[in-house]
Amino acid sequence: MENKAGSAVKPSEMELVRQLEYIRMIREKNDAFEMANGRKKKFYSLAMGCQMNAHDSEKLEGMLTEMGFESTDVEKEADFIIYNTCCVRENAELKVYGKLGWLKHYKEVKNPDAIIALCGCMMQQETVLQTLRQKYRHVDIVFGTFNLYKLPELVATRMESDRTVYDIWQEHKEVVEDLPIIRHFPYKASVNIMFGCNNFCSYCIVPYVRGRERSRTPEDILAEVRKLAADGVKEVMLLGQNVNSYGKNLDNPISFAELLRMVNEVEGIERIRFMTSHPKDLSDELIKAMAECEHVCKYLHLPVQSGSDEILRRMNRHYTKESYMEIVRKAREAMPDITLSTDIIVGFPGETEEDFQKTLDVIRESRYGSAFTFIYSKRTGTPAAVMEDQVPEDVVSDRFNRMLDVLNPIVHEVHEEQVGKVMTVFAEEVSKQNSSILTGRTDNNMLVHFPGTEDMIGQMVPVKIIDNKTFYLIGERI
């Protein structure tokens, strides 16, 4: 295979060409629809779950836009509805089934020609596919996490036949670069640095639905970041389930710390964030790189999950409370202004009151600026699902509330420490409640509301912090 310049064409480039051809075919049909009906077909896109899914949906939306659909926020006027699903906890799945019930009615009564597509993590589970085949036959297109780039082909196939199109792969075959994309924010963007996860934490479904860990090459990542910078993007979020193992399996191995230093050199990028960082292999080299790179934000999301060594062992996390606290100490020593955040699971099988108290100790000692807190959710197929001593619901919800009683005052205090300071806030959007207020984030990831006008969006604004609302700050321009 050769392209015009005579250099070899990679298979993924061929695949991109194929999909662009499907996009062109669908666009012709959609343009004809617009000529006949005086309006474009509309799509409604919903991303559930984590930032990976949000970023994948940006690509889905980019492809749909190229196909000649226009985006709508009003689901009940859409001709094409796509949910990018999550299955990390049971309630994420229940939400999808609830919405599918509504969509059945929508299709029967309002818009029989509407196309309903489901994709993402939930679709990688055989039990879900069986349920869809039996109970939700009004779904038109189903695909998973490994073949997102095939959306144009699947839409074209569905337009040609009236049968549901299923296309689920069990593993990753190739990364297709340079898909069309609609970024949700003009000035900040996410960049995948790796896909999948090899850690198999015993409660977690992600490795089963996202496959084995694969890193993109630094060249591809840097090319994307440079392109984003040229487009006016000032903040990038580097995404991976465990960024600390980035690059280890590349033909030319490289560490995440080295990658950070390279991204730090890209002209025009003023802020670099990353997630998620697994405590088991967070290196001194990374702390040093964070401290030395002027554009890397002084903020670290470091999921602890539990403070009990016994629970951590059974979670298969490969660190102890002590080694976790050691990272916290080192990070604070290298970057005194750093803010930490975390993920915590309450009610893992076998968790005793004593184990739970150790989680509260970690919260007190780590002094998080924010935390994502979850009630343990049993995921069929994971080792934890068959562990004995599942904790009763009432005990878990009591612990969960007591955890918030410890956590929230700390979050409040950490925010209170900012009052009186002048901080640089990256103005991100106009507040939904009040059009004279802008919202943005500080380097250390605190949310700030301050008076401003739309033209300031995308700028770094010096703001004096004057009040603390626990989960966000109020500022005034100076």
Name the residues that contact ligand F3S, by CB under 6 A: 49-50, 52-53, 86-88, 121, 206, 209-210
Among 308, 299, 385, CA closest to 351: 308
Among 228, 141, 145, 242, CA closest to 189: 228
Nearer to ligand SF4 by Cβ, of 88 and 414: the residue is 88
Shortest spacing between CB 382 and ligand SF4, in angstroms? 9
Binding-site size, ligand SAH (CB under 6 A) = 17
Shortest spacing between CB 5 and ligand SF4, in angstroms? 40
Sign of CA dihedral 263, 239, 431, 425: negative
- What residue has token string 């890397």? 296
Interface stretch with ligand SF4, choices 193-201, 229-237, 324-332, 346-354 (CB under 6 A)? 193-201
Shortest spacing between CB 240 and ligand SF4, in angstroms? 10
Q: Does 150 bind ligand SAH (CB under 6 A)?
A: no
Q: Does 57 bind ligand SF4 (CB under 6 A)?
A: no
Interface stretch with ligand SAH, choices 182-190, 201-209, 349-357, 363-371 (CB under 6 A)? 201-209
Q: Which of 87, 100, 311, 345 binds ligand SAH (CB under 6 A)?
A: 345
Residue 429 — φ and ψ, nearest 5°? Answer: -160, 165
Nearer to ligand SF4 by Cβ, of 242 and 418: the residue is 242
Interface stretch with ligand SAH, choices 91-99, 117-125, 375-383, 399-407 (CB under 6 A)? 375-383
Q: Which of 59, 278, 399, 441 binds ligand SF4 (CB under 6 A)?
A: 278
Q: Does 211 bind ligand SAH (CB under 6 A)?
A: no
Q: How far apart are CA 417 and CA 337, in angstroms?
A: 11
- Over its C-alpha atoms, the chain yields an Rg (Å, rounded) of 23
| Contact pattern from residue 72 through residue 91 relative to ligand SF4, giving x for each residue in contact according to CB under 6 A and a dash for the rest | --------------------
Q: Which does 53 bind (CB under 5 to 8 A by kind): ligand F3S, ligand SF4, ligand SAH, none?
A: ligand F3S
Q: Give the largest Cα separation in the chain, rounded.
A: 68
Specify the 3-state DSSP secondary structure of 174: coil
Among 415, 425, 447, 51, CA closest to 270: 425
Q: What distance lies between CA 154 and its chain's CA centroid?
A: 24
Q: How far apart are CA 438 and CA 473, in angstroms?
A: 12
Interface stretch with ligand SAH, choices 74-82, 121-129, 372-380, 463-471 (CB under 6 A)? 372-380
Q: Does 356 bind ligand SAH (CB under 6 A)?
A: no
Binding-site size, ligand SF4 (CB under 6 A) = 10
Q: Does 123 bind ligand SAH (CB under 6 A)?
A: no
Nearer to ligand F3S by Cβ, of 11 and 98: the residue is 98
Q: How far apart are CA 234 and CA 232, in angstroms?
A: 6
Q: How far apart are CA 139 and CA 114, in angstroms?
A: 10
Any residues with CB less than 8 A from the CB of 125 and at least 6 apart, and which?
Answer: 87, 205, 208, 209, 381
- Is the peptide bond between 276 and the residue preceding it cis, with omega within 30 degrees of 0? yes
Is residue 350 within 8 Å of 314, Cβ to Cβ? yes
Nearer to ligand SAH by Cβ, of 77 and 90: the residue is 90
Q: Which pair of structure tokens corresponds to residue 33?
A: 């629809």
Buried b (16+ CB within 10 A) or exposed e, 329-354: eebbebbeebbbbbebbbbbbbbeee
Q: Does 244 bind ligand SF4 (CB under 6 A)?
A: no
Q: Which does 86 bind (CB under 5 to 8 A by kind): ligand F3S, ligand SAH, ligand SF4, none?
A: ligand F3S
Strand order in the sheet with 80-85: 70-71, 42-47, 80-85, 115-120, 141-143, 165-167
Nearer to ligand F3S by Cβ, of 87 and 304: the residue is 87
Binding residues (CB under 6 A) for ligand SAH: these are 88-89, 203-204, 206, 241-242, 276, 278, 303, 305, 343, 345, 374, 376-377, 379
Binding residues (CB under 6 A) for ligand SF4: these are 197, 199-201, 204, 206-207, 241-242, 278
